[in-house]
């Protein structure tokens, strides 16, 4: 059954407000009262849609990461069908949807800072949620990478995949020394970032 427009609007306002505040203040530093004030709703609306602050945190991630994970797996399947055992297309499937999310002007930048908060803050509940909901994505990529790199041990593979995830998060946050050149639009700059990261990661995985 379709959700009424007013309910959808209220839920999206709460998620948007929570995302902005989590990006600015972190998870522990943000209260539900601050979220309701930012979203211009009452606490009952948060309880109705999410039930708890922990569930609200999880839904902020799910709202963005479900689509990104679907895109990643779709690109991975295409790479495996069209260019089996080639490393770069697998890496592109992992990197490009994430950088596209960072380009999203509808809150993408705030969500990248939320991801950084997740790395910085110890939140066992969130980590368990992310592992349970998205762990299969990492496992699918690990299997695809293992097929491309049969001489790598499982331990080496996971080390390198972890390093790739860290480098990708850094690239998404755009903290680097390489700034967008004058006269180059954001889309072209991000495409170049993806190309360079894929080349760098491929060399690292093959080392």
Predicted local confidence at residue 175, as pLDDT = 56
Q: Which residue has the higher pLDDT, 75 or 85?
A: 75
d(CA 18, CA 204): 37
Q: Which residue has the higher pLDDT, 93 or 106?
A: 93
Predicted local confidence at residue 178, as pLDDT = 62
Q: Is the pLDDT of residue 186 over 90?
A: no
Report the predicted TM-score, pTM, of the whole model to 2 decimal places. 0.85
Where does residue 104 rank: exposed (0-12), middle (13-18), buried (19+ CB within 10 A)?
A: middle
Q: Is the pLDDT of residue 173 over 90?
A: no
- What does pLDDT average to over the chain? 89
Predicted local confidence at residue 1, as pLDDT = 43
Q: Is the pLDDT of residue 176 over 70?
A: no
Mean pLDDT of 3-19: 78
Mean pLDDT of 25-50: 95
d(CA 37, CA 41): 7
Of the ranges 51-65, 93-107, 184-198, the best mean pLDDT one: 51-65
- What are the structure tokens assigned to 109, written together? 């930048």
Q: What is the CA radius of gyration of the chain?
A: 19
83 CB-near residues (< 8 Å, 6+ apart): 89
Q: Is the pLDDT of residue 4 over 90?
A: no
């Amino acid at each position: 059954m379709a959700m009424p427009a007013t309910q959808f609007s209220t839920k999206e306002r709460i998620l948007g407000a929570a995302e902005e505040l989590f990006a600015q203040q972190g998870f522990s530093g943000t209260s539900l009262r601050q979220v309701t004030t930012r979203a211009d709703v009452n606490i009952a609306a948060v309880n109705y849609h999410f039930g708890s602050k922990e569930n609200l945190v999880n839904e902020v991630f799910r709202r963005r990461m479900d689509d990104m994970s679907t895109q990643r797996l779709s690109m991975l399947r295409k790479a495996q069908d069209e260019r089996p055992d080639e490393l770069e297309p697998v890496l592109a499937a992992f990197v490009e949807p994430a950088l596209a999310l960072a380009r999203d002007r509808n809150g993408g930048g705030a969500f990248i800072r939320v991801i950084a908060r997740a790395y910085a803050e110890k939140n066992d509940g969130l980590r368990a949620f992310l592992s349970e909901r998205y762990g299969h994505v990492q496992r699918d990529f690990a299997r695809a990478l293992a097929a491309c790199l049969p001489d790598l041990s499982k331990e080496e593979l996971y080390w390198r995949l972890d390093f790739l995830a860290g480098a990708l998060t850094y690239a998404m946050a755009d903290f680097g020394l390489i700034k967008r050149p004058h006269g180059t639009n954001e889309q072209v700059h991000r495409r170049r970032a993806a190309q360079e990261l894929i080349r760098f990661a491929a060399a690292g995985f093959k080392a």
